[in-house]
Structure 1
């Protein structure tokens, strides 16, 4: 009889412990930075940061080719992703933005900004050429020179 009570007590304890663990995990899901409302807020901040530095970004793109007179950014193309470097922890996060030059739909480029995490904005303005300016001609993408 003692074994039966012990088994019942252990089963009840296991169910209660499992419930506590599940409840705490659900609470953590909504308390961290991946909650959709925080991501939306982070995206708005990141987009505002880019628009605040639009002239600097355009100047950078213009410096990539002497043929560039104007730069058009595709604000909807903004993406944040984790950069891989071969280690389990990765190489950090990068915010990327695509665009076109000289009002030409047959051109494209991509610039990037280093981030501390997926929801941050760059600490300091530092822009990277992720993809050089290219133009579509003769059935392929060629460097814009």
Structure 2
């Protein structure tokens, strides 16, 4: 048994190392901190990350109803949806899905201990893909799934 465990670890550790190295390489090759470059005939203008994120957040606020509708569709008992814009995050999807996302969080029915999360993919040109947004954290109240 001990020998099997040693062999298992000998095989597993290099694989985990390669996964970690691959993750670092992906992070270095495409970073959410990359600048958008727009060019005209005479000069190149770069937008700072803060400006890109502000534009994305402003766009999302204009399309707030689409998020509300998605959350409401999860359960017929959801009467109202509150979005906590201050909790919005920008992140990558992780090892299995290296795309970048905007993560939006909020509450339902004005219940303080409720919560949900919606993930919205960010396209390569830093626009939001609302057609592919999905519930990343199901509706919970008091830590339990809302039913």
Superposed pair shares fold, TM > 0.5: yes
Q: Which runs of 5+ in 1 are unaligned?
A: 1-31
Total equivalences in the alignment: 104
- Cα deviation digits, residues 32-73 of structure 1 (max 9, x gap): 529xx7111011111112111111110110000111000000
Moved over 2 A (4+): 123-126
TM-score, L = length of structure 1: 0.65
Structure 1 residue 104: deviation in Å? 0.7
Structure 1 residue 92: deviation in Å? 1.4
Q: Which runs of 5+ in 2 are unaligned?
A: 1-33, 37-46
Determine the structure 1 residue equivalent to 2:48: 38
Determine the structure 2 residue equivalent to 1:47: 57
- Secondary structure of the residue aligned to 1:76 is helix
Q: Which of the pair has more CA radius of gyration?
A: 1
CA distance in 2, matches of 1:125, 1:50: 12
Please give the root-mean-square deviation of Cα atoms over the aligned residues, in Å: 2.0
TM-score, L = length of structure 2: 0.64
1:115 lines up with 2:122 in the alignment: yes
Q: Aligned ranges for residues 68-87 of structure 1 at < 5 Å?
A: 68-86=78-96
CA distance in 2, matches of 1:130, 1:47: 18
Structure 1 residue 126: deviation in Å? 2.4
CA distance in 2, matches of 1:64, 1:92: 24
Contact preservation (8 Å) 1:49, 1:121: no
